[in-house]
Structure 1
């Protein structure tokens, strides 16, 4: 068997391999033409000349297989210099390495009408297909496209045991009466995708069964069920298109959805929020849940005290999660759109909103709450909204939202200003300014407690430099600056909630929710009146 026949056989069997082909030589090269097959285990068929150059080609081929990407490698048969192979021949060689046998593995559990249609749809998409069932008649060759591997078991569990289920597998379960056995067998496997065909009612029954079997909630929630996209599919062929669309979405790590709704092409739902503190985060969550695409900006080290409910926290390293929504730092506008595609909220370090010209959002919301305008102008976007004092609706923004607690909290003003800053924190259980912690001097913050801790009056909460910061009253630590920040004398560094254990430091506050609702209302109103 020649090398190309062997390559064809490996490709047919979907066994990963690289094919190295000499494309150029100069001088005294070991060979001037030749091909070599390199399997994933490092074994070879054929040669490109032996010696160090061949070892190098094998190493590069294995890397190419890992990356699933072709490459060109160069080597000079010299002891020193660029691309030297520690050889004495004196020539040079270029080798093209391509990779094969890497068709994605699709395992169909159940050989009924739907999985037969899925097999035919997947065949033209280049999947390596295996179907398993416990009924021999269902596995008849004529039901499936050429090249489909068919696995028969004594029962469904036995058939599944014969499958090679691995981290690269896509698994679709579509059986008549054995779906419980099948999903119980497969759910803990490490795969790219597990899809289960079942009605919504049956999904709940099967998921409850898995919970009784002590299957982790993470594994249960990773199951795609009901399976596929909601396109009104009824026939097996239509259902197959729905299922394969979902599989391709996972395979390509794509956001899915309509092309016309891609934020890169359609900015009508794109909102840029200046600031990423707790109030801004409440606004962001409200808008995202209403279907808007949100990006936030802040300074490099935001001085937020409600860290557990502030998306600004992601700028200190790890992604931040609030009420099931994840925010992640974005270093570029390209990353912004990628994170939006991943259903996350991107947060950029962009104090001066330099990204506006690239992002081109339809809405800008100033949620910095600095009690003064730090550079927001009405021409930043078709619609601009600001929160709190320091703005005049009709001049530097289209609307301003009242942020002062009380009867008018959340009031939308389309002409004029909000109430002036009182300088008095909101009243909680009869306490206002008493519950606020301020820096006794300039220095670096060192915390002795964490958010959510219950403290007593007089407990040391932190040090600023060598000066202690003590709790002015008993309660829960609901706000505290990040460790290691430099602060000035009198700077707000935390707060104590006198409600103690009854307080909640993990969810958005009532104030943030009210303001978020008002921002949403103002956006919808202005969208109707300004853009139409």
Structure 2
């Protein structure tokens, strides 16, 4: 690999942007396609599909074999609320290779003992989320039922490119949430990004079942979103 290509690839990795290295098997010729450039590339459909799957592999174009090396940022999951659902969700999300962070200013709940396998930030969301750098490979779920905690987190997510934004609560709870966020200046299109009630409708009852429904919805959205043109 040329040093300039390696440098460019490392720069995309550091910036948490996806990229695909295209290698001609016969000639060894290589080129880098950044996620923002995929739509205009001759291999656009194949590149989108590989990026959606997050898997490298061989493709053929006009009799040439090309190897597509996919580099995608690890998916981050910001969980707002150190609640029972979060305790079940965190290990499940880590099992599918998500980077999980728990955020909750309530120090009685936000403890390492309750979340031994995930970073726990006992801070207000509007303080720590900007430092996390929410991007299109970040999902955020608001689970506290407390508007003072959930609303600032949702506002931060809606101002970002988070691929998934979800909030716990009934439809009536969400109607009140929408009213508050509308008064804060968010549009109908902004608020339509919020998955609420959160999770796939699988009839979940227990915290663990609700966690399953949330994770399933996040994964479904992730794979669907990766089909979009950049």
Q: TM over 0.5: same fold?
A: yes
Residue equivalent to 2:136: 167
Deviations 1:282-330 (A, max 9, x none): xxxxxxxxxxxxxxxxxxxxxxxxxxxxxxxxxxxxxxxxxxxxxxxxx
Distance (whole Å) between structure 2 residues aligned to residue 170 and residue 107 of structure 1 = 6
Residue equivalent to 1:376: none
Question: Is 1:40 aligned to residue 26 of structure 2?
Answer: no
Question: Is 1:210 aligned to residue 181 of structure 2?
Answer: yes
Pick the aligned partner of 2:222 from 244, 251, 254: 251
Q: 1:242 to 1:219 in 2, by over 3 A?
A: same
Are the counterparts in 1 of residues 168 and 197 from structure 2 also a CA contact under 8 Å? yes
Tell me the TM-score normalised to structure 1 length. Answer: 0.31
Pick the aligned partner of 1:70 from 26, 35, 56: 56
Aligned-residue CA RMSD (Å): 3.5
Pick the aligned partner of 2:97 from 120, 126, 129: 126
Distance (whole Å) between structure 2 residues aligned to residue 167 and residue 42 of structure 1 = 14
Structure label with greater radius of gyration: 1
Residue equivalent to 1:201: 172
Distance (whole Å) between structure 2 residues aligned to residue 174 and residue 223 of structure 1 = 13
Q: Residue 100 of structure 2 aligns to a residue in which SS?
A: strand
What is the aligned length?
187
Residue equivalent to 1:156: 125
Distance (whole Å) between structure 2 residues aligned to residue 42 and residue 231 of structure 1 = 38
Are the counterparts in 2 of residues 64 and 97 from structure 1 also a CA contact under 8 Å? no
Q: 1:58 to 1:216 in 2, by over 3 A?
A: farther
Question: Is 1:191 aligned to residue 162 of structure 2?
Answer: yes
Are the counterparts in 1 of residues 136 and 161 from structure 2 also a CA contact under 8 Å? yes
Residue equivalent to 1:138: 109
Are the counterparts in 2 of residues 130 and 150 from structure 1 also a CA contact under 8 Å? yes
| Mapping 1:52-63, distance limit 5 Å | 60=31, 62-63=32-33
Q: Residue 231 of structure 1 aligns to a residue in which SS?
A: coil
Distance (whole Å) between structure 2 residues aligned to residue 57 and residue 158 of structure 1 = 48
Q: 1:116 to 1:37 in 2, by over 3 A?
A: farther
Q: Larger relative contact order (C-alpha < 8 A, sep ≥ 6)?
A: 2
Residue equivalent to 1:241: 212
**Structure with more of its chain in helix, by fraction:** 2
